Amino acid sequence: MNDLAPFEWILATRFMREGLLQTLFIIAGVALGVSVIVFMSALLTGLQSSLFSRTLDFQAQIIITAPEEIARPLYVPGKGEMSATLIQPRAQRLRSVDQWQKVRAQIEKKTGVVVVTPVVSGAGFVIRADANRAVTLTGIEPETYLHLIALKDKIVAGNAEVGSNDIVIGTELAKDMGVSINDKITMQTASGATSTLKVLGIYDFGNKAANSRSVYVALRTAQSLLNLPGGATTLEVNVADPFAAELMAQSIQAQTGLKAESWITANEDFFTALSGQSFTFLVIRLFVGLTAALGIASVLVVSVVQKSKEIGILRATGTTRQQILRLFLTQGALFGLFGSLLGSGLGWAFLAAWRGFAKNPDGTLFFAIDFDPLLFLYAAIGAVLVGTLAAVFPAQRAARLDPAVAIRG
């Protein structure tokens, strides 16, 4: 007996050792539950963060545009007058955000904003000899835009630091046009403006449509091609906490009067799917926890019956009801603790095994999984809580035992 160990701890551990097989089975049951939770939590977190990063790497968190142009009837009917009017929605022409430099400076001052970059975006054609392709032309300020979008990471040839005579295109477009780095192609827009540009970089977003449709040029080049001298069709913003983007968008909209849309609003379906996934996992966790709790409770109920004589003796020899209560609560907590330690180890092993075989054909992982030590800590705390709560009923039953009846058996 350890001098530091309290009476209830000594009894709980001895009782557990005495019924070793029973103890091992319930710990194994709890461990299995914990390992499932650890494994699934890590998997889900990895999957969700992978989805987030895939979404956010190529999309600004907040996009600010000029308010839409609306049609207004010239004649407004007076009081008591009626007028039959057919109002058609206006076609939206390419327009610049009014005084975007001033707006940019305002937004940059806001707490939580990491980067604000102007973008000029419109439709155009890439022409080389007899071949031409319709593309989306994006004019960027490389020094800020490349902090917003992970374009640099996707460059497979050359680089993305576009100058006024450069263009960055996708692998699919490069193949279609038969160009490689330093080759020249012509860019033409609907206004008739043309410019011959040098292929500075080729990217691969892992998506055929994106690789054939998007091209990047310098902001000034795009302004000139799209006939928006000094303008910016959008201001794109990233914030420190991506999940605070919606609030920030609302704040920007209120402050500037411009239309600000967060990635959360723009990807509503994606978020609904993620919420559904999280809820499903929560339900699974609840059921796993409930199963473990019922397992612990049933073992302890049996233990109380098996040990009723011992409880009677303990009560007769001076052990209080509170000590008996604490004895069984300690046992429940220990089942949870040992189960969670073993379960965390098992969960870690499952994750290591997953990393070994869940790979793409090119050898890269489906998605990255982090071994977050906090996850193990939370699992341990959760299991101890579940074990303790599961022990409440058996412990109360044990504490209520009449010693005279218990001793008689």
Partner 1 sequence: MADSKTSIDSQSRDAETDATLRLEGIKKSYKIGKSGEVEVLHGIDLVLGRGEFVALIGPSGSGKSTLLNLIGLLDKASSGLMFLTGIATENLDDRALTKLRADAIGFVFQFHHLLPAFTAVENVMLPLLAKQGRPDDAMRKRAAELIDKVGLRALANNMANNLSGGQQQRVAIARSLIMQPALVLADEPTGNLDTKSADSVFDLMREVCDTSGTTFLIVTHDPRLAQRCDRIIELVDGLIASDKKNTQVLTKGDDSPLPVAQRAAT
**Contact set for partner 1, span 305-324 (CB under 8 A):** 309-310, 312-321, 323
Q: Is 95 helix (H, G, I), strand (E, B) or coil?
A: coil
Q: Which is nearer to partner 1, 309 or 355 (CB)?
A: 309
Residue 18 CB, shortest distance to partner 1, in Å, is 4
Whole-Å CA distances, 280 to 40, 51, 274: 11, 17, 10
CA angle, 376 as apex, 374 and 381 as ends, to 5°? 90
Q: Which is nearer to partner 1, 223 or 331 (CB)?
A: 331
**Contact set for partner 1, span 328-357 (CB under 8 A):** none
Q: Is 404 in the site for partner 1 (CB under 8 A)?
A: yes
Q: Which is nearer to partner 1, 119 or 299 (CB)?
A: 299
Residues 6+ apart with CB under 8 A from 334: 12, 13, 16, 387
Binding mask 3-22 for partner 1 (x = CB under 8 A): xxxxx--x---xx-xx----
Q: Count Cα neighbours of 397 within 13 Å in the Cβ-side half-sphere.
A: 16
Q: Which is nearer to partner 1, 13 or 291 (CB)?
A: 13
Burial-class residue 212 by CB neighbours within 10 Å (0-12, 13-18, 19+).
Answer: buried
The answer to whether 125 and 169 are in contact (CB under 8 A) is no
Residue 26 CB, shortest distance to partner 1, in Å, is 17
**Contact set for partner 1, span 373-402 (CB under 8 A):** 402
Q: Which is nearer to partner 1, 54 or 309 (CB)?
A: 309
The answer to whether 95 and 258 are in contact (CB under 8 A) is no
Residues 6+ apart with CB under 8 A from 350: 35, 38, 39
Binding mask 266-305 for partner 1 (x = CB under 8 A): ----------------------------------------
Residue 6 CB, shortest distance to partner 1, in Å, is 6
Residue type, 114: V
**Phi (first) and psi of residue 115, to 5 degrees:** -150, 145
Q: Which is nearer to partner 1, 4 or 76 (CB)?
A: 4
Q: Which is nearer to partner 1, 13 or 188 (CB)?
A: 13
Which spans in 153-228 are helix H?
A: 171-177, 208-213, 219-225
Interface ranges with partner 1 (CB under 8 A): 1-7, 10, 14-15, 17-18, 309-310, 312-321, 323, 402-404, 407
